[in-house]
Amino acid sequence: MYTGEYGSSEEDSVEEPKLKYERLANGVTEILQKDAASCMTVHDKFLALGTHFGKVFLLDIQGNVTQKFEISPVRINQISLDESGEHVGICSEDGKVQVFGLYTREGFHENFDCPVKLLLYERNWLNRWKTSTLHEGEGTINNVQWRANLIAWANNVGVKIYDISTKQRITNVSRDNVSLRPDMYPCSLCWKDNSTLIIGWGSSVKICAVKERDHAEMRDLPSRYVEIVSAFETEFFISGLAPLADQLVNLYFVKENSDHVEEEFRARPRLDIIQPLPEGFEELSSDALTVRNFQENECRDYRLEHSEGESLFYIISPKDIVVAKERDQDDHIDWLLDKKKYEEALMAAEISFKNVKRHEKIGMAYINHLVEKGDYDTAARKCQKVLGKNMELWENEVYRFKTIGQLKAISQYLPRGDLRLRPAIYEMILNEFLKTDYEGFATLIREWPGELYNNMTVVQAVADHLKKDPTNSTLLTTLAELYTYDQRYDRALEIYLRLRHKDVYQLIHKHNLFSSIEDKIVLLMDFDKEKAVDMLLDNEDKISTERVVEELRDRPELLHIYLHKLFKRDHHKGQRYHERQIGLYAEYDRPNLLPFLRDSIHCPLEKALEICQERNFVEETVFLLSRMGNCRRALQMIMEELEDVDKAIEFAKEQDDVELWEDLISYSIDKPPFITGLLNNIGTHVDPILLIHRIKEGMEIPNLRDSLVKILHDYNLQILLREGCKKILVADSLSLLQKMHRSQMRGVRVDEGSICESCHTSILPSDMAQNFSVAVFHCRHMFHKECLPSLGTIPGVQFCNICSAKRRGPGSGILEMKK
């Protein structure tokens, strides 16, 4: 429903109107002050307006008069223009029809006693007018519409359609409501296209489609016929019709109805857009139009004309002409703004891409609306889209948000790329956060590029605040970040170490600050020992081991961690510190002392033994004694101090010394538990009989039976293993002997290419008819028999002279070939 200067809705609605209206003014205003409009026709180039006083005015689309014709002393009923706009046909209330050229005034006029005939004028081959009567005898003809080859006209009975191409009348569409006076409620005709006619009469609407008839059905019938594709009744009387795509624009004269609230409202004409259906219609839009003197008008006083190319609709009344046109994108945006639908208006403006200034205007209106509502976050967010690259608008908005105390809201949306505001703007916002929100301040420093503001100014501001709160970790961290951006890495490093901040190692690596941490190694290790040591070892070329050891000399527990990891990486790199490491391991990490002693070849054994004996480290002392060759003393310590027979046996096995086994048996012989341990483990290294013979008679030994059974079982297992190994050895020997025999029994090829290994001539004679003798050894060496070396020392055995020169022992047997 539309509400505006020329249209008013019957009820408030949020639906957007389809059309917008404006009054045709300029020359039209002056004409209608003295005269009254009776009809009008629309051409692409101009308008032709007929009046009650018989005048015809040619107007431009703004309503300015371009030509004036005095046609008749009475009312002009209808005006028709050809496609070129050069010729006009005019009929008046007195029955006269004039046709002439607008620019030549050449033509003709015809008088009728009353408009009861429809005549067709055509030029013949002699260029003379030929007149044909298309219709007469059914009363006054009050409307004629011509489109392509079809002419439609209405009289008091109904509507007829005539086909010029076949010279045939196609159909007659009867009038529905015969009770209405045809002069008061005239018929409205409109061609939608070359084959679709829209008829409006009274409150009835019919849409007629002209179709081709099948040849089989033609006989004596016209070649075309009319099908009514839609017919429906409306609530009001129809004053005019016009097509709008597949929809229909209806101009209504409202019925007098006492049930309505106000008579004045009922009399206003209505312009509706409807969607025709086969048996009805759907109303899409309905506007009540406030035209001048509408209270005095009748149904016949209104006309609806349209311009097909531009979807313009002209509502003609005696004292007013209103132009209706489809609403464009700008109208849509204006309506959204009027309804305070700013978000949708902004989106519509972005889609149109027509006017950047208008887009900004809409956006600013939206931002103002949000600010008035108190929705500051949304208003700030919309600034990005609305203000775009307009830095002046941006700065104005920032100051406005400052005025209302909402700088925080706009801070995260400020430009920070190639386009940016003055540094003072960003510093103002940072200062606002610094006063009220340290966390927010820190977030902005992390998110904003340092180029946006004067770094030193911000550093000084943070330093001033730290004077009041020197331990505030948020401010200290932010200050370190500012120092980092300013490439004052040493200052940033000090703060990070003081705060034990996780980014300290990243800062060192990223900016190669190893020269700055040489005197801060203890601080780094106190913060995170593992990371610090890994970093130091990974960068030995930048911070030497000697430097690290020197820095950690007063912190032996940290020194041990460093040297321990260094030793794990490379057993030889820190060899000069291995002696010192013995004491460090003994003090801080005894579990790793023995592995260190085992793996290091650089630590002094005497020093290590001294430290271990002082601290009574038995296992380490045992290892050192054994490594120094004093195995008997080491075994004694195991037996006497550890009293661990299993370790003693294991130690004896490792040393594999008969004397140690004898010492172990001698020490254990009066200790039944030790005897049990020996019986269970000695069988594979020492003959158990030696131990059993030395056991005193009558000594009670725990689990003796089980131990003896185990000895017997181990002995049987050894016998089985030996027998199994013997079988495997015999089988393998036999298999290899057979393989060698097969290899030696293979034939050896002797041909012209074979040579004697002694005389180096061909092994075969040139005359194969002669007798010859050849000796071939299994080693594949060949000799003429006469070239064979003398027999060896073994009677009947010949050795290859070549092979015997390369290895000792027999080469192979001999084969002899004779012919």
Query: Mean pLDDT highest for which of 285-299, 734-748, 765-779?
Result: 285-299
- Tens digits of residue pLDDT in 598-640: 888 888 888 988 888 888 888 888 888 878 878 778 777 777 7
Is pLDDT above 80 for 116?
Answer: no
Is pLDDT above 50 for 811?
Answer: no
Query: What per-residue confidence (pLDDT) applies to 5?
Result: 46
Q: Which residues contact 404 (CB under 8 A, 6 or more apart)?
A: 371, 376
| Per-residue H/E/C for 329-364 | HHHHHHHHHHCCCHHHHHHHHHHHCCCHHHHHHHHH
Would you state the structure tokens that stand for residue 293, as one six-digit string?
A: 């003197």
pLDDT tier at 316, thresholds 50, 70, 90:
very high
pTM for the model stands at 0.54
Is pLDDT above 70 for 542?
Answer: yes
- Tens digits of residue pLDDT in 332-376: 888 888 888 877 777 777 776 555 556 667 778 888 888 888 888
What is the Cα–Cα distance from 81 to 615, expressed in whole angstroms?
Answer: 127
Query: What per-residue confidence (pLDDT) applies to 679?
Result: 66
Q: Which residues contact 529 (CB under 8 A, 6 or more apart)?
A: 558, 561
Query: What per-residue confidence (pLDDT) applies to 195?
Result: 92
Query: What per-residue confidence (pLDDT) applies to 805?
Result: 36
What is the Cα–Cα distance from 719 to 723, expressed in whole angstroms?
Answer: 6
Query: What per-residue confidence (pLDDT) applies to 818?
Result: 53
Higher local confidence (pLDDT), 467 or 220: 467
Query: What per-residue confidence (pLDDT) applies to 268?
Result: 83
pLDDT above 70 covers what percent of the chain? 84
Q: Which long-range contacts (CB under 8 A, 24 or more apart) does 430-433 make?
A: 430/458, 430/461, 431/461, 432/402, 432/407, 432/408, 433/408
Is pLDDT above 60 for 3?
Answer: no
- Tens digits of residue pLDDT in 63-110: 999 999 998 899 999 999 888 888 898 998 887 888 888 877 666 666
Is pLDDT above 80 for 738?
Answer: yes
What is the Cα–Cα distance from 128 to 569, expressed in whole angstroms?
Answer: 120
What is the Cα–Cα distance from 760 to 673, expressed in whole angstroms?
Answer: 80
DSSP per-residue codes, 426-451: HHHHHHHHHHH-HHHHHHHHHHS-GG
Is pLDDT above 80 for 129?
Answer: no
Query: What per-residue confidence (pLDDT) applies to 21?
Result: 92
201 with 142: CB under 8 angstroms?
no
Angle CA(105)–CA(109)–CA(112) in degrees, nearest 5?
Answer: 160
- Tens digits of residue pLDDT in 567-606: 998 888 888 989 899 889 889 999 999 899 888 888 888 8
Query: What per-residue confidence (pLDDT) applies to 381?
Result: 84
pLDDT above 90 covers what percent of the chain? 23
Q: Which of 95-104, 383-392, 473-482, 796-805 has the lowest mean pLDDT?
A: 796-805
Query: What per-residue confidence (pLDDT) applies to 52?
Result: 95
- Averaged confidence pLDDT in the chain: 82
What is the Cα–Cα distance from 288 to 598, expressed in whole angstroms?
Answer: 107
- Tens digits of residue pLDDT in 509-530: 887 878 777 888 888 888 888 8
pLDDT tier at 232, thresholds 50, 70, 90:
very high
Cα 795 versus chain centre, distance: 96
Cα 521 versus chain centre, distance: 46
Angle CA(61)–CA(65)–CA(66) in degrees, nearest 5?
Answer: 90
Cα 319 versus chain centre, distance: 62
pLDDT tier at 127, thresholds 50, 70, 90:
confident
Q: Position of tokens 């158990």?
A: 688
- Tens digits of residue pLDDT in 133-142: 888 888 888 8
